[in-house]
Amino acid sequence: MKTVKVNVVTPDGPVYEADVEMVSAKAQSGELGILPGHIPMVAPLQVGAVRLKKEGNTELVAVSGGFLEVRPDQVTILAQAAETAEHIDVHRAQQAKHRAEQRLQAKQEHVDFKRAELALKRAINRLNVTQNKY
Ligand code: ATP
């Protein structure tokens, strides 16, 4: 089986590295599926789960936006924050989700809705990844 090397990198350091059969990610332009030998490209990502098909299994990494870069020999995902399921604190994500929902319901002028919406997306994405949902 052909594979491609994948690295998920954040400002805090590398989060995931493996040789995989396929990388799937949610780009701003829609769903992307990258197989070994894909042409070079760069795509901005949405908040979402990156799916990595490895030896027939699918592994998930929660990614808070960023960029996906395809080069001939490897795929790099550069994100402000990214976590594999085992590194996600479920309680923290539930709290973040609750906080964001409260802010979105508040209908107060000082609330930055765009920011609250993004925080909500990050929290839901983390919870989905811990539940193996994508
Ligand atoms: P919170 O409000 O809980 O901080 P957030 O979505 O605002 O959540 P980010 O700004 O996306 O947090 O991330 C800040 C740092 O904290 C990153 O290093 C990220 O990986 C980590 N992080 C955020 N939420 C969690 C979580 N639920 N479990 C583990 N790490 C997390």
Helix axes 113-130, 90-106, angle to 10 degrees: 150
| 82 DSSP β-pair partners | 63
Residues 40 and 53 grouped into a single domain: yes
Residues 71 and 94 in one domain: no
Other residues' Cβ atoms within 10 Å of the Cβ of residue 7? 15
Cβ neighbours for 117, distance < 8 A, ≥ 6 positions apart: 100, 104
Give pLDDT tens digits for 53-73: 999 899 999 999 999 999 988
Distance of alpha carbon 12 from alpha carbon 14, whole angstroms: 7
Residues 76 and 113 occupy one common structural domain? no
The torsion angle over the Cα atoms of residues 51, 21, 57 and 65, rounded to 10 degrees, is: -10
Ligand 1, pocket residues at CB < 6 Å: 12, 64, 81, 83, 87-89, 92-93, 96, 119, 122, 126
Confidence of residue 107 (pLDDT cuts 50, 70, 90): confident
Distance CA 78, CA 19 (A): 17
Query: 95 and 33, same structural domain?
Result: no
Residues of the domain holding 72: 4-85
Phi, psi of 33 (to 5 degrees): -125, 120
Look at ligand 1, atom 31, and give the residue with the nearest C-alpha. Answer: 88
Nearest protein Cα to ligand 1, atom 1: 96
| CATH assignment of the domain containing 68 | 2.60.15.10
Same structural domain for residues 53 and 112? Answer: no
Instruction: Look up the CATH number of the domain holding residue 96.
Output: 1.20.5.440
Percent pLDDT > 70 in the chain is: 100
- The rounded mean pLDDT for the chain is 95
Name the closest-CA residue to atom 21, ligand 1.
Answer: 81
Query: How many domains does the chain contain in total?
Result: 2
In this structure, are 70 and 93 located in the same domain?
Answer: no
Which pLDDT does position 72 carry in this prediction?
Answer: 86
